[in-house]
Structure formats: structure tokens, C-alpha cells
Amino acid sequence: MSDLKNDRYLKALLKQPVDMTPVWMMRQAGRYLPEYREVRSQAGDFMSLCKNAELACEVTLQPLRRYELDAAILFSDILTIPDAMGLGLYFEAGEGPKFERPISSKADIKKIPNFDPNVELQYVMNAVSTIRKNLQGDVPLIGFSGSPWTLATYMIEGGSSKAFTKIKKMAFSEPQTLHLLLDKLADSVTTYLNAQIAAGAQSVMVFDTWGGVLSPAAYKEFSLQYMHKIVDGLTREADGRKVPVTLFTKNGGMWLEAIAATGCDAVGLDWTINIEDAKARVGDKVALQGNMDPSMLYAPAERIEQEVQTILKGFGNGSGHVFNLGHGIHLDVPPENAKVFIDAVHKFSKPYHQ
């Protein structure tokens, strides 16, 4: 365990004792930081930034220079897999990601090539190994992927969606077609995350951003069972230490027990659930990550500190909590407010670990 100067993030995910609650932020490397915007404009566009290992490493490290964070997260995009499958990913200004060739039939799914993450997504592995080297053992590196359901929503809708009518139409009128795609995606995500672990990621996270748009039965059928399959297929030890896996479903609070039963190490929580209730329900099985509303970072410093204390008190004594926002930091949050948040977690959490 001695290769890391600060391993409290990994320890908390495994529910081992820590001196204070570790903290990192979803989207901590990103557009709320002026130094990120500078590198992004230098790269030309978002995917060029993702594909340049040195620049991806630079933006991953930027927040660590500003804040006392307990983990770094790979700078990449959740849509790298569909891009590698040849769907023609592009970004429209102000509209988010789009695909030139969305999936609309079983024939489209059968045409999807099997890809090797060390070939088509070699740029991600280069970024992982470059970041890991440059971190010099200061903090662990988190790798990640989108969940099969979330990736499928973009692939079938052709981009972002509000109602998800195309994928739900397929789910309920031709479920076997959608299962074919989800199964293929689950295999791809597993291979992709294992390649990230081999390249140096010390923990991995699956982002199920759109699982919460499903009914309970549909969630288990179309999202959770495929995340379970991924958890079963992941490399869980590397470099002589455990590689913890976190599953995060936005708006997934009603399914915590089912998520915890997949065998993951930690469950990510959004802000719509009380952490005290979540701990009472699943805290003996898994660690919890979360769960301050990202919009709280617009508040004055005292209010941010107050909210941090409320969440820490809700979780209570002992390990098994990684403090985070309930979703990604908003792009217009003042960077100094993020510092107040991070410092408050460390300052106020120590008594809970004595």
C-alpha cells in the first residue's frame, strides 16, 4: 500500500479506517476552471483534447494544483466507446454530443464492429499511463465509463434527449433488439475498464446518468443487470492492491439495495436522497459516495460549510464515505467556492474518524 502518499480515497471505498473523509468532485477537471478553458482553446476542440495524452494529463492535474483533492479522475468522455464503434461522434456548439450514424435497427447493431480498446481507444490508455506517471503517487487515479444503458441512449437517440422516446420504444416494442446492443456494450465496457486498470487506473466508476428515467422493473432489466455483468467481469486487483468499483445511477435512490447487491464496492448517490437513510439501507454492504447538490456551490462560504457538516453528520462515524457532489460541478461555479467545499470536508470530518 506504500506506493501512494495519500490512499484515503481507496481505503474509504473499501470501508477501511481513514484519518478524514476523502473528497473529489465529478467534473473536477473542466470548464469552471480558467486554466482548463485555456488548454481547451489550445487543443481546438473537446475530442482533440481527449485524444492528446499530454493535454488530457495537464487538465486532469489542474484541479489538484488548486485543491487538496484525494483523487484524480481521468479526463475523457463517456462516449468514447460509441465513437470507437464508428457512430461518428461530433459536438454541436451549445447542443452537446451528436452521432452521425445513430442505431435504429437490429441490422445496425449487428454491423457494430468489435473493437480493441488498446487499438481504437489507445489514446485513452496513453492518457491513463501519462497521468499515472505524472501523479507520482500523490493520489489515486480513477478510470471510468458510461453504463451500457446510458451509452445506448445516446447511440439510439443520436445525442442528448429529454423524453428518450426512441430508446424506450425499442425497449418496449423490440426488447430483444435492445438487449443485443446492451449485451455488446456491457462486454465493451468491461474490456475498456480492464484496459484502463492495466494502464494504471487504481479505481473505476460506471456512470449511469440516465438510469433514473426508467421504471423500477425496466431499470433492473435494461440497466442494472448489465452493470452487474460488468462488475462480475472487472479486474478487482492490480499492483498488489484491490481496485474498487463504484456504480452511480443518477436518480437511482430507490434502487440502492439492488445496486449494492451487484458486488460493487461503492454506490454513488445524487442529492435527491438523504445520506443517513442511504447508510441505514446499504451502508453495511458498500461504501457511499456523495452527495451535495452541485448548486450549493453558488452559496456563500458559510452556507457551503454548513451543508458539508450536515452531510457528514448524516453519514456519522466511521469509514465508508467518499464525499462528492451529487453530480458534476456546474460550469459557472466560482473556483474559490469549490475550495471552500473541499477544505470544509477535511476540516469537519476528522472527529468522525477518531
CA distance 239 to 152: 33
Q: Is 298 labelled a binding residue?
A: no
User: Of 227, 216, 236, nearest to 261 (Cα)?
Assistant: 227
Q: Is 154 labelled a binding residue?
A: yes
The string of pLDDT tens digits covering residues 149-184 is 999 999 999 999 999 999 999 999 999 999 999 999
Sign of the CA dihedral with 59 first, then 206, 253, and 160 last: positive
Catalytic residue of the set 8, 32, 36, 40: 40
Is 154 marked active-site?
A: yes
Q: Is 153 labelled a binding residue?
A: no
CA distance 88 to 76: 17
In this structure, the number of other CB atoms found within 10 A of the CB of residue 84 comes to 20
The maximal CA–CA distance of the chain, rounded, in angstroms, is: 59
Name the one residue in this structure whose C-alpha cell is 470548464: 31
pLDDT at site 96: 85
CA distance 5 to 19: 13
CATH number for the domain formed by residue range(s) 8-353: 3.20.20.210
Is 8 marked active-site?
A: no
Is 132 marked active-site?
A: no
Residues of the chain with pLDDT > 70, as a percent, come to 99
State the Rg of the chain over Cα: 19
Q: Is 30 labelled a binding residue?
A: yes
Q: Decide: 24 and 9 in contact? Cβ < 8 Å.
A: yes
User: Of 102, 90, 187, 92, nearest to 145 (Cα)?
Assistant: 187
Q: Is 235 labelled a binding residue?
A: no
Catalytic residue of the set 32, 67, 154, 219: 154
Q: Is 167 exposed, middle or buried (0-12, 13-18, 19+ CB in 10 A)?
A: buried
pLDDT at site 111: 96
Q: Is 152 exposed, middle or buried (0-12, 13-18, 19+ CB in 10 A)?
A: buried
CA distance 341 to 25: 10
Give the pLDDT of the chain (354 residues) as one tens digit per residue.
448 999 999 999 999 999 999 999 999 999 999 999 999 999 998 999 999 999 999 999 999 999 999 999 999 999 999 999 999 999 887 778 999 999 999 999 999 998 899 999 999 999 999 999 999 999 999 999 999 999 999 999 999 999 999 999 999 999 999 999 999 999 999 999 999 999 999 999 999 999 999 999 999 999 999 999 999 999 999 999 999 999 999 999 999 999 999 999 999 999 999 999 999 999 999 999 999 999 999 999 999 999 999 999 999 999 999 999 999 999 999 999 999 999 999 999 999 999
Catalytic residue of the set 7, 8, 9, 27: 27
State how beta strands 287-292 and 237-238 pair: unpaired
Q: Is 31 labelled a binding residue?
A: yes
What pTM, to 2 d.p., does this model score? 0.97
Q: Is 219 labelled a binding residue?
A: no
Is 40 marked active-site?
A: yes
Using DSSP's 3-state secondary structure scheme, residue 261 falls into: coil
Q: Decide: 181 and 174 in contact? Cβ < 8 Å.
A: no
Catalytic residue of the set 19, 77, 138, 277: 77
Q: Decide: 89 and 97 in contact? Cβ < 8 Å.
A: yes
Q: Partners of 207 in the beta sheet?
A: 146, 248
User: Of 27, 40, 33, nearest to 72 (Cα)?
Assistant: 27
CA distance 278 to 253: 8
pLDDT at site 1: 40
